[in-house]
Amino acid sequence: MPDWPEIVRRHSGIVWRTAYRLLGNHADAADCLQETFVAALGVSRRQEVRNWAGLLQRIASRQALDRLRRRLRQAGRHEDLADWRMVPSPNPGPVGEAEAVELAAMLRRALADLPARQAEVFSLRELSGLSYEEIAEQLGIEVNAVGVLLHRARGRLRTFLAAANGRQTREVR
């Protein structure tokens, strides 16, 4: 039987960071943190968990992406997605902050529009810093498939962001 207080103590930081990076909102990240540990408890009852950090990051990414998609559907894609005053910055100034807020909101919208597996791979690689091998192990896919999914996700994000900025580019499928 897993030592839950120890698991939560050791891994809650990485789960929080994973959720917050995707959601940009303290309340949503806190909810996602709780949902992640509840889901992990369910997994641990069905099978032995050998890599708690990897499992929790994967669940947190999925939970956060699902929450982000729900938020975008509910908001009708017209409202600001986060309280960006809470995000620390190296003092970019008002214009830089405004641009960062817009870019982050566009990126969140684009991530929510990606196919689920591409969004998950992108989040695990770019936001959680997992290696291709770690992602492949967590998702139960080949390392090459991770590369393909990541390439497609980056291409779609690039296309979306370029279109949002008024530039035309070829979409990658």
Asked whether residue 170 is domain-assigned, the answer is no
pLDDT higher than 50, residue 83? yes
Q: How many CA atoms lie within 13 A of 167 on its CB side?
A: 9
In the structure, what pLDDT confidence band is assigned to residue 71 with cuts at 50, 70 and 90?
confident
Asked whether residue 169 is domain-assigned, the answer is no
In the structure, what pLDDT confidence band is assigned to residue 40 with cuts at 50, 70 and 90?
very high
Asked whether residue 171 is domain-assigned, the answer is no
**pTM exceeds 0.85 for this model:** no
Count Cβ neighbours within 10 Å for each residue of 8-17 and write b for 16 or more, e otherwise. Answer: eeebeebbbb
Counting the structural domains of the chain, the total is 1
Say which DSSP state 170 is in: P
Q: Could you list the residue range(s) of the whole structural domain that residue 151 is in?
A: 4-164
Return the CATH number at 91: 1.10.10.10
pLDDT reported for residue 128: 84
Q: How many CA atoms lie within 13 A of 54 on its CB side?
A: 15
Asked whether residue 92 is domain-assigned, the answer is yes
Percent of the chain with pLDDT over 70: 84
